[in-house]
Copies of this chain bind each other. A is one copy, B any other.
Amino acid sequence: MYLTQPLHRNAQLQPDALATICGDRRFTFGELRSEVASLAGGLRGLGVESGDRVAILALNSDRYLHTILAVAWADAVVVPVNTRWSVKEIAYSLVEADVRTLVVDDTFSELAGALREQCPELSTLIHCGDSDTPVGMVPYEQVASSGPIPDARRGGDELAGIFYTGGTTGFPKGVMLSHRNLFASAMGSAASGAWSTRGRVLHVAPMFHLADLASTIGHMLLGGTHVIIPGFDPVATMTAIAEQGVTDVLLVPTMIQMTVDHPRLKDFDLSGLQVLMYGASPISEALLERARGAFPAARFLQAYGMTELSPVATMLTDEDHRDPVRRRSAGQAAPQSLVKIVDLDGSEAARGEFGEIVVSGEHVMLGYWKKPEETAAALRDGWMHTGDGGIMDDAGYVFVADRLKDMIISGGENVYSIEVENVVAKHPSVLQCAVIGVPDDRWGERVHAVVSLKPGAALSLDELRQHSKADIAGYKVPRSLEIVETFPMSGAGKILKRELRKTMS
């Protein structure tokens, strides 16, 4: 398979159906094939050669998707840049990947000077924004009107993209994914019935992230229309769902929460949404309940994985969400994926015992760009060592450590944070919450609730304790409460408990 295959197929089967909707711009599949063929011709005309890396630094737009396809069509390799990184991190990745061509939008064109300075090899900047093209850049429209070239049909085990990860916590690593890797994950999800056929998928999660690219490929396979907004915003998201007939969306739990708790929720008809896929962290029972109310027709699906797995390893089905235990897991191995939990010595752990999550399948990355040692450490005997800890139950449900190890030992009793969080989150005043263990002279660790409140709401520790006692044992009830305005979040929209713990230790 190859990234542009579904473009050819859709242009044949439904040339007049909409492929992309972005603001006022619309492309049918027939138009998109012409646009991509011509954009690819423009890239070659600018000196891009087979195997060259072409980077994109931009908010979401149709041009982001068109560029990804055109880069493959031109036999080149795409490098989507994390828009949340510092200039220094971005420059590091561009230099390491030897990027000479960069596509930037209005939001990031102001970084051009600094990037040119720090990336001596960077010779061509293409401006894909809507305002005037800055001096020294080539307008996207000019590249896209260069005349078509034949599709290189780059595919199979050939490199499709380099996807940098880890920028905020350590040295960035460029994950090399082949076309085959990307399709293995997308086909596996599609085979699981993850997405609607010929649906309308809303791109609200950042397009540089592999989760969004995976849903892009899945919906291209299934002939869907891509509705694209610049980034997450609750009102923009609800507007798009209601007005564009969106059937499928990929979000992270924080985005779900910000949407379903938004005061304007009732202003929008969200009943058309069929599939709500989320990742990055599990969803609390209370949030799930509110989300089911807000999106009454939607199936809820969780995917767990990482960039190195293109990205899906396991999936939690809508039905699984109705099981109080399984809902806390990341689900079961997706069809293309084998998953096991291994001990330090590499042997498989017994069910229910803690170990490292390892994964094999055609979705496992080719390796880290220019990092043979890190590649050898991560890929052993064909198994990707995720670095995530976890346990697996008798039916193969994987509980990821960040969630499961998220356990407090208080007075000798084990308290699972998620269980307490599920109860706290149900309190009508609570907007978002995290429960952590903090050092305590008497209890060893103390159950500590960190909470943000809904507008105008108030909450006392006594009230929270009364509320919690109805559902959980006394030793699990929070012994201290901290009200915050916002939480420290990861790039993927996950509450960073390690940051919360730092401030308490």
Residues of A within 8 A of B (CB): 1, 5-6, 8-9, 12-15, 156, 184, 187-188, 190-193, 197, 221-222, 332-333, 335-340, 361-362, 394-396
Residues on the B chain within 8 Å of A339, using CB: 12
How many Å from the CB of A118 to the closest CB on chain B?
A: 41
Q: How far is the CA of A340 from the CA of B9 in the complex (A)?
A: 10
Residues on the B chain within 8 Å of A13, using CB: 332-333, 395-396
Whether B338 contacts A8 by the Cβ 8 Å rule is: yes
How many Å from the CB of A399 to the closest CB on chain B?
A: 15
A1-B362, A193-B193 given; A396·B12 CB < 8 A: yes
Whether B191 contacts A395 by the Cβ 8 Å rule is: no
Q: List 22 A-B contacts (CB under 8 A).
A: A1-B336, A1-B361, A5-B361, A6-B335, A8-B338, A9-B335, A9-B337, A9-B338, A12-B340, A13-B332, A13-B395, A13-B396, A14-B395, A187-B190, A187-B191, A190-B191, A191-B191, A191-B221, A191-B222, A193-B197, A221-B335, A222-B335
Q: How far is the CA of A9 from the CA of B14 in the complex (A)?
A: 36
Our pick among B6, B187, B338, B396 for the contact of A187 (Cβ within 8 Å) is B187
Whether A335 contacts B190 by the Cβ 8 Å rule is: yes
Apart from A1-B184, A13-B333, list 17 A-B contacts with CB within 8 A. A1-B361, A1-B362, A5-B338, A5-B361, A9-B337, A9-B338, A12-B333, A12-B338, A12-B339, A12-B340, A15-B394, A187-B188, A187-B191, A187-B336, A192-B197, A193-B197, A222-B335
Nearest neighbor of A17 in chain B, beta-carbon distance:
B395
Residues on the B chain within 8 Å of A8, using CB: 338
Q: How far is the CA of A362 from the CA of B178 in the complex (A)?
A: 15
Nearest neighbor of A195 in chain B, beta-carbon distance:
B191
How many Å from the CB of A225 to the closest CB on chain B?
A: 16
How many Å from the CB of A19 to the closest CB on chain B?
A: 15
How many Å from the CB of A34 to the closest CB on chain B?
A: 16
Copies in the complex: 2
Residues on the B chain within 8 Å of A394, using CB: 15
Residue among A192, A335, A338 with the highest chain B CB neighbour number at 10 A: A335
Nearest neighbor of A334 in chain B, beta-carbon distance:
B9
Residues on the B chain within 8 Å of A338, using CB: 5, 8-9, 12
Residue among A6, A12, A395, A396 with the highest chain B CB neighbour number at 10 A: A12
Residues on the B chain within 8 Å of A188, using CB: 187
Q: How far is the CA of A337 from the CA of B396 in the complex (A)?
A: 33
Nearest neighbor of A191 in chain B, beta-carbon distance:
B190
Q: How far is the CA of A238 from the CA of B332 in the complex (A)?
A: 34
User: Can you list the 5 inter-chain pairs with the closest CB atoms, starting with the nearest?
Assistant: A190-B191, A13-B396, A187-B187, A12-B396, A221-B335
How many Å from the CB of A433 to the closest CB on chain B?
A: 33
How many Å from the CB of A75 to the closest CB on chain B?
A: 16
Nearest neighbor of A190 in chain B, beta-carbon distance:
B191
Q: How far is the CA of A114 from the CA of B478 in the complex (A)?
A: 81
Residues on the B chain within 8 Å of A1, using CB: 184, 336, 361-362
Q: How far is the CA of A9 from the CA of B398 in the complex (A)?
A: 13
Nearest neighbor of A218 in chain B, beta-carbon distance:
B191
Nearest neighbor of A396 in chain B, beta-carbon distance:
B13
How many Å from the CB of A303 to the closest CB on chain B?
A: 16
Q: How far is the CA of A8 from the CA of B15 in the complex (A)?
A: 41
Q: How far is the CA of A332 from the CA of B13 in the complex (A)?
A: 7
Residues on the B chain within 8 Å of A15, using CB: 394
Q: How far is the CA of A222 from the CA of B15 in the complex (A)?
A: 32
Residues on the B chain within 8 Å of A361, using CB: 1, 5
Q: How far is the CA of A340 from the CA of B221 in the complex (A)?
A: 18
Nearest neighbor of A155 in chain B, beta-carbon distance:
B362
Q: How far is the CA of A221 from the CA of B187 in the complex (A)?
A: 11
Residues on the B chain within 8 Å of A184, using CB: 1
Q: How far is the CA of A191 from the CA of B362 in the complex (A)?
A: 17
Q: How far is the CA of A476 from the CA of B188 in the complex (A)?
A: 48
Nearest neighbor of A14 in chain B, beta-carbon distance:
B395
How many Å from the CB of A397 to the closest CB on chain B?
A: 9
Q: How far is the CA of A337 from the CA of B221 in the complex (A)?
A: 10
Q: How far is the CA of A377 from the CA of B192 in the complex (A)?
A: 37
Nearest neighbor of A192 in chain B, beta-carbon distance:
B197
How many Å from the CB of A41 to the closest CB on chain B?
A: 20
How many Å from the CB of A176 to the closest CB on chain B?
A: 18
How many Å from the CB of A498 to the closest CB on chain B?
A: 31
Residues on the B chain within 8 Å of A191, using CB: 187, 190-191, 221-222
Q: How far is the CA of A190 from the CA of B156 in the complex (A)?
A: 20
Nearest neighbor of A351 in chain B, beta-carbon distance:
B12
